[in-house]
Amino acid sequence: MLALFYIFIAVAIGVSFWQITRIMNFRGVIATDEDNTKQGKNSLIFLAFIYGIMIYCLIFMNVIMLPESASIEGEHDDNLFNITFWLIGIVQFAMQFLIFYFTFKYKGSKDRKAKFYADSHKLELIWTVTPAVVLVVLIGYGLWQWNNIMDLSDAKDPVVIEVYSQQFRWDARYAGEDNALGLGNVNYIKGINTMGVDMNDKNSLDDKQVTELYLPKGRKVKFQFRSQDVLHSAYMPHFRAQMNCVPGMVTEFGFTPKYTTEEMRQQSEVIEKTAGINKIRKAKGEDPYEFDYLLLCNKICGASHYSMQMKITVVEPAEYDKWIAEQPTLATVIQ
């Protein structure tokens, strides 16, 4: 095996020297006006091809994008994405035109000599100040949105949930009637106490451990994250929320769900019908797509990283109150 590797390296070096030699042979070759005209026209053809691909992606591949944000706070993430996307798109369309059209318009000609400009202070000022101003505005908006997600001090009666990560599963517990989570540490993990909850802490007694997340629509949810082993990342794409789960520390964020699972499921069905995806599924004999919110791990944490997920169900407040009341407390389960 090692011998084959050395042979491959030797062949690659040989081909490289051969290509360099061929290029060196063209040093004395001067392109004719016919060559320049041909390449100039080819640049226009390539410009049309680039525009065609871009327009196709914008129109026909839009269905693979995430639907509208399912959280109120996530609306600003979508706004920031759309603003950035349109800015980049406009600049991309303009720059592609300038690059390839100027290649055609100012193609080489024996009757024309290129002019040389050492520098232009005006141009330097424009393309330095303009991107700087745009970046300051975008970064400022991004920082404001970051604080909007991270600052939970003004949340009124939030649902407090701890999400606990380990290879390769998620566990979660809800704060009880005191709306305060008990302490947790890996040293307390024993038997059915898989989250390492300190049962000597009085705040732990009314906590409720679950294997599936239920969230109430329209109410702030405060998440706290811990990790048992390695670095994980709690990613809830439809809510535009993500946070690293770091061993030895607690991280947090919060958001307010604005669509129930059923409402988002209906939106997904409309999107599939509009795009014709439902017909493709039927033609293949596949079952209709059943939408669910998911908590995913967005850090490659090991061999089964891909399967590390937890179902999230968003319901109306009354249904949530009924569900949470039915869950047993840790005091009745562990002690």
Two structure tokens written together for 139: 């970064």
| pLDDT above 70: residue 224 | yes
Separation CA 165–CA 229 (nearest Å): 8
Q: How many Cβ atoms are within 10 Å of 220's Cβ, its own excluded? A: 20
61 pLDDT band (50/70/90 cuts)?
confident
Query: Which pTM does this prediction carry?
Result: 0.74
Interval 252-283: pLDDT, tens = 989 999 999 988 888 776 666 555 555 555 55
Q: Which of 215, 202, 231 is nearest to 319 (CA)?
A: 215
Average pLDDT, the chain: 85
| pLDDT of 183 higher than 90 | no
Are residues 255 and 225 in contact, defined by beta-carbon separation less than 8 angstroms? no
Angle between helices 74-105 and 33-60 (to 10 degrees): 160
Which is more confidently placed, 78 or 110? 78
Residue 104's nearest CA partner among 150, 60, 169, 39 is 39
What pLDDT is attached to residue 1?
57
Task: List, edge to edge, every strand of the sheet that includes 169-174.
Answer: 208-210, 169-174, 159-166, 221-227, 251-255
Render pLDDT for 269-325 as a digit per residue (tens, 0 to 9). 666 655 555 555 555 565 556 788 999 999 998 888 989 999 999 999 999 999 998
**Quick one: pLDDT at residue 288?**
57
Q: Which of 274, 194, 272 lies closest to 228, judged by CA?
A: 194
Pick the CATH number of 159-333 from 2.60.40.420, 3.40.50.300, 1.10.287.130, 3.40.50.12280: 2.60.40.420
What would the pLDDT profile of 74-97 be if each residue is shown by its tens digit? 899 999 999 998 999 899 899 999
- Alpha-carbon distance of 41 to 20, in angstroms, equals 28
For the chain, domain boundaries: 36-107+122-151, 159-333
- Name residues whose C-beta falls within 8 Å of residue 74's C-beta, 6 or more positions apart in sequence: 239, 240, 241, 255
